[in-house]
Amino acid sequence: MSEKTPLLHYRLSEASCSEEPAGVLPVPPSRDRGQSAAGPRRGPASTSQPKKLNTFFGVVVPTLLSMFSVVVFLRIGFMVGQCGLYQAIAMYVVAYFIISMTVLSVCAISTNGALDAGGAYYMISRALGPEFGGSIGLMFFLGNVCASALFVLGLVEAIESTFGMPEDGTLPISPHQVLPSGYWWSLLYGTAVALLCLLVCLVGANIYASATFVIFLVVILSLGTVFVSFFSVRPHNVTLPGSAFLPGNTSSPMARFTGFKLDTLLGNLGDGYGVDYTTGRMMNFATVFAVVFNGCTGIMTGSNISGDLKNPSYSIPRGTITAVIFTFIIYNLLMVMAACTCDRVLLQRDYNYLSEINVWHPFVTVGVYCSTLSAAMSSLIGASRILYALAKDHLFGRVLSPAKRTSCGGNPWVAVLLSWFLVQLVLFAGKVNTIAGISTIFFLLVYAAVDLACLALEWASAPNFRPTFRYFTWHTCLLGIMGCAIMMFLINAIYASASIAFMLLLLLLIHYLSPTSSWGYISQALIFHQVRKYLLMLDVRKDHVKFWRPQVLLMVSNPRTAVGLISFINDIKKSGLYVLGHVQLGELNTLPSDPLQSQYDSWLSLVDHLNIKAFVNLTLATSVRHGVQHLLFISGLGGMRPNTLVLGFYDNNPPEDKLLGLVLSSSGPRDPEDQQQQKPFHFPSLRGDAATGKSMDPQEYVAVIADAIKMLKNVALARYFHDFQRTRALSPAEKGAGVYVDVWPVNLLRPDSSSYVDTCSLFLLQLACILNMVRAWRRARLRLFLCVEEGRSLRGTKEKLGQLLKELRIKATVYTVPWDSQVALHWQRQSRAEKRPLDPTQELPEQEEDNQEEPEVEEEEEEYVNSFPSNGARLSDDYLLAVNRLILDQPCLSPAVRFLYLPRPPADTRRYTTYLRQLDLLTLNLGPTLLIHGVTPVLTTDL
């Protein structure tokens, strides 16, 4: 719900005579001399504000008149005559059950916070979000437009039944029948009535409230005479109107008012569906219910003008419930009395029968005129308020922007004019019963949406959903939704389906075109509720290798240089957790506030702009190493924690701002300076020299890798992704050439260990396969390179690996690569070290003079490091460069990306710099490359 305080309730002053939306407090007058003239005019604005309406005048009276309207005087007899007393009572029980469930939901939502203008639209939009709110709000607006036209036509029908001349040309039976009849004459009378409603609504809500109170007194007086007439008027014959006789009908033109008789009651208990003489259509339960339900659709009248109420949260529940109970009692009493006193012919063929049996005929006529006129005005003013609220929220852009204009008294006169224009169009339908079905479908759809909003708030268990009205549960909301949905399709399945389809179309349109709102979305609360439940169910003790997926923490120093890498890792995550991590150096105890809070918006905007599915996690630490440890410890929840750490490679490539270029290209040709001011990213600018801009040294960088492996996290080092673009990588330079992903599953820093089935090499295969499963990468072909020394069976090794790939369901082409010359360089270095004499006076060959100059400490380090089989030691630059050339010299085109085996860092921390230099030489000029070290099993051949 909205967080507005009661002071922000739909206040309109002289300052809001333009397009300024209601709900904004007027700006206090300036004390400058230059504006002294404006000051006196603004000062009395608060005292000249229109008075707000209380519960009785603002809710009870309009709701009663809307619910009575046409039905109470013109359709009670039609209902009993067509379906009988039993079904009539059942219809009202069903109808009032549906609206009672909705009334409970309305009361709950309206007492949960400050309610602004817009009524049901405001409730739905602030609970379910702008998509549902806008689509349902527009449907509610159209429903009120149809209801206003319905009541106008009901008034015209009553006027013609009293003053209209017979259409068949026969002589009038009453001297008062002086008005010409017919379709176009009815349209003219309806236009005149609609203009009268327009004039009253243009004046404002207070004049409308005063008028409705007078009308209310007249209607209550008319109803009183009706109840008296059932007991006081003697039985007599009633002349049926000429229009009640359809072509070919030879029935008597007379019907009987019998007074209270048992035989009359027994004759009206069962159904007797016939032809509706106003439309010529055969009636059934659904069509009668559609007409009758319009007598229940006024429950939202009070909430529609919530912006004009003194205290909407207090008035709407009490006023609406009072009106619903009162109308239910009156309707049932009228049905029972009509069934006991009027024969079926009179009820079916004279909708104005109450006037014929009244003690004084004009009483009922005046009551019909007043109730229908009031209902038409309330629906028109309700429609205008909904349209005004839709325009204020900018959900439909400039299409509805004129409807925001208000008069100096706060009346949205443009919205009133637009609503009246649509009412005038609906009047061309011509008959009450024709519009009734459409109007009923619209209202049922809105009622279902209100119940859905209340149900969602209740199920979300939001702490701020604390309505003071507690006489509801999720059961009542669910029953209301089901009742509305069932009755919609029973009334007219075609209309119901079309209205739902139209609502869904509007929902999608608003979702893609409307700006982001700050109302709060119930979907977020529901998602939170469900995610928390399923996170608790995601037990890490039940994890299985069959369902392993990468959950990646990508460390980003500055997103300006990492756009390509961020997008690539999004492809490789395979629906797993993806977290963008960043470490800012600093100590919180030396800062006035947390500097990271202001940066989240920029990072989240980056995620939206790159269209990736990632979370953002920032931390403040004294060193990058400690910051990465923090993120590995705290990122994720339960079974959703990062299992793979991705780092950019530590090199001295000059940084390039790829983010600015991406923003400029996506925004079109604009001035770069203007674009720089408008972009939502506020990341630090790049330094010219990469070496001087680094926040850690090589020793700390390798220590981060070692820490992650100790924490049983897989590690990937990404090199040459600063210029990576997926579109370009997947579009080969030569036409018809393929796109390749190369995998080297051998530890190239350990040529004496050529195993390709260890955990790390299988991890490489899994990641490459995952990348190949992404839609954009499905056309890429995997190439698996197996380095084999001479003397081993190349064919046998290839077949063995091919069988393994087949069992693992990985489609890849295996290439065996002889690397004897490269391995020879390695063993040559090893033999030299072994042959080095211990006597320093002994002469050495000329080519070993460089080795003689190495200090003794270096010799000890090499011997110490070499004792750990996982470390790459005693590797000459010649060997590393030779392996690098081996990788580069493979046939066919260069691959889009390469996957290489990443050995563990050496156990001796003094060798970290040497280890990093070896990786640098190994991957020199290879293009986009991932060096990967896996520590967890990720592949299985089990079903």
Residue 580: pLDDT band (50, 70, 90) is very high
Is 379 exposed, middle or buried (CB count within 10 Å of its CB: 0-12, 13-18, 19+)? buried
Q: Is residue 562 a contact partner of residue 683, using CB atoms and an 8 Å limit? A: no
Q: Is residue 81 a contact partner of residue 292, using CB atoms and an 8 Å limit? A: no
Helix residue ranges per DSSP H, 558-644:
563-572, 600-610, 624-634
Model pLDDT, residue 661: 63
What is the distance of C-alpha 826 from the center of its chain?
61
Model pLDDT, residue 328: 92
Model pLDDT, residue 688: 53
* Distance in angstroms (rounded) separating the CA atoms of residues 54 and 724: 66
Reading the block at residue 905, the tokens are 């860092």
Q: Is 297 left (phi over 0), alpha (psi -120 to 50) or beta?
A: alpha
* Distance in angstroms (rounded) separating the CA atoms of residues 21 and 389: 9
The residue type at 808: L
Of 332, 334, 322, 341, which Cα lies nearest the Cα of 367? 334
pLDDT of 22 over the 50 cut: no
Stretch among 113-122, 401-410, 486-495 having the lowest mean pLDDT: 113-122
Helix (H) or strand (E) holding 813: strand 813-818
- b/e code 108-139 from CB counts within 10 Å (16+ = b): bbbbbbbbbbbbbbbbbbbbbbbbbbbbbbbb
What is the distance of C-alpha 159 from the center of its chain?
48
The 10 Å Cβ neighbour count of residue 548 is 17
458 phi, psi to nearest 5 deg: -70, -45
The residue type at 466: R
* Distance in angstroms (rounded) separating the CA atoms of residues 420 and 167: 29
Of 829, 864, 863, which Cα lies nearest the Cα of 847? 829
* Distance in angstroms (rounded) separating the CA atoms of residues 85 and 70: 19
Mean of the pLDDT values across residues 708-712?
94
Tens digits of per-residue pLDDT, 140-185? 898 889 988 988 888 888 788 778 777 655 656 666 677 888 888 8
Mean of the pLDDT values across residues 537-548?
78
* Distance in angstroms (rounded) separating the CA atoms of residues 364 and 355: 5
Helix (H) or strand (E) holding 152: helix 130-163
- Whether pTM > 0.95 for this model: the answer is no
Best-predicted range by mean pLDDT (197-211, 341-355, 796-810, 836-850) = 341-355
* Distance in angstroms (rounded) separating the CA atoms of residues 769 and 774: 9
Stretch among 284-293, 415-424, 741-750 having the lowest mean pLDDT: 284-293
What one-character DSSP code corresponds to residue 216?
A: H
User: What are the residues facing 256 on neighbouring strands?
Assistant: 237
pLDDT of 787 over the 60 cut: yes
* Distance in angstroms (rounded) separating the CA atoms of residues 579 and 338: 72
pLDDT of 103 over the 60 cut: yes
pLDDT top residue among 355 and 625: 625
First-last CA distance in the chain: 49
- Sheet containing 714-719: give its strands across: 615-621, 578-585, 552-555, 644-648, 714-719, 929-933, 897-901, 740-744, 781-788, 813-818
DSSP string, 24-57: SPPPPPP-SGGGTTHHHHHGGGTTTSPPPB-HII
- Non-local (6+) Cβ contacts of 438 within 8 A are 146, 495
Tens digits of per-residue pLDDT, 645-654? 999 999 887 7
Q: Is residue 789 a contact partner of residue 819, using CB atoms and an 8 Å limit? A: yes
pLDDT of 251 over the 80 cut: no
pLDDT top residue among 676 and 648: 648
Computed from CA positions of residues 384, 491, 424, 197, in that sequence, does the dihedral angle turn out positive or negative? negative
pLDDT of 236 over the 70 cut: yes
Residue 876: pLDDT band (50, 70, 90) is confident
Mean of the pLDDT values across residues 662-669?
54
The pLDDT mean for the chain works out to 78
* Distance in angstroms (rounded) separating the CA atoms of residues 818 and 402: 77
Mean of the pLDDT values across residues 283-305?
78
pLDDT top residue among 559 and 694: 559
Computed from CA positions of residues 226, 230, 232, 233, in that sequence, does the dihedral angle turn out positive or negative? positive
Q: Is residue 899 a contact partner of residue 741, using CB atoms and an 8 Å limit? A: yes
Best-predicted range by mean pLDDT (6-20, 33-47, 53-67, 816-830) = 53-67
Computed from CA positions of residues 152, 158, 161, 163, in that sequence, does the dihedral angle turn out positive or negative? negative
Beta strands 929-933 and 781-788: pairing type? unpaired
Stretch among 163-172, 615-624, 901-910 having the lowest mean pLDDT: 163-172
User: What are the residues facing 553 on neighbouring strands?
Assistant: 579, 645
Stretch among 382-386, 625-629, 823-827 having the lowest mean pLDDT: 823-827
- Non-local (6+) Cβ contacts of 512 within 8 A are none
Q: Is residue 350 a contact partner of residue 356, using CB atoms and an 8 Å limit? A: yes
Mean of the pLDDT values across residues 230-248?
73
Model pLDDT, residue 709: 94
Q: Is residue 901 a contact partner of residue 762, using CB atoms and an 8 Å limit? A: no
Q: Is residue 109 a contact partner of residue 364, using CB atoms and an 8 Å limit? A: no
> Any idea which residue has 């008294």 for tokens?
409
Taking each helix axis as running N to C, give the angle between helix 76-110 and helix 120-128, from 0 to 180 degrees, rounded to the nearest 10: 50
Q: Is 689 left (phi over 0), alpha (psi -120 to 50) or beta?
A: beta
Reading the block at residue 207, the tokens are 């004049």
Model pLDDT, residue 841: 42
* Distance in angstroms (rounded) separating the CA atoms of residues 110 and 121: 12
Beta strands 236-239 and 254-257: pairing type? antiparallel
* Distance in angstroms (rounded) separating the CA atoms of residues 708 and 500: 53
* Distance in angstroms (rounded) separating the CA atoms of residues 70 and 294: 8
| CA distance readout (Å), 908 to 218, 365, 607, 935, 940 | 99, 103, 39, 20, 34
Percent pLDDT > 90 in the chain is 20
Residue 863: pLDDT band (50, 70, 90) is very low
Helix (H) or strand (E) holding 852: helix 849-852
pLDDT of 10 over the 60 cut: no
Q: Any idea of the CA torsion for 44, 45, 48, 54, to the nearest 10 degrees?
A: -130
* Distance in angstroms (rounded) separating the CA atoms of residues 792 and 794: 6
The residue type at 364: V
What one-character DSSP code corresponds to residue 647?
A: E
What one-character DSSP code corresponds to residue 791?
A: T
Best-predicted range by mean pLDDT (260-274, 430-444, 502-516) = 260-274
User: What are the residues facing 45 on neighbouring strands?
Assistant: none
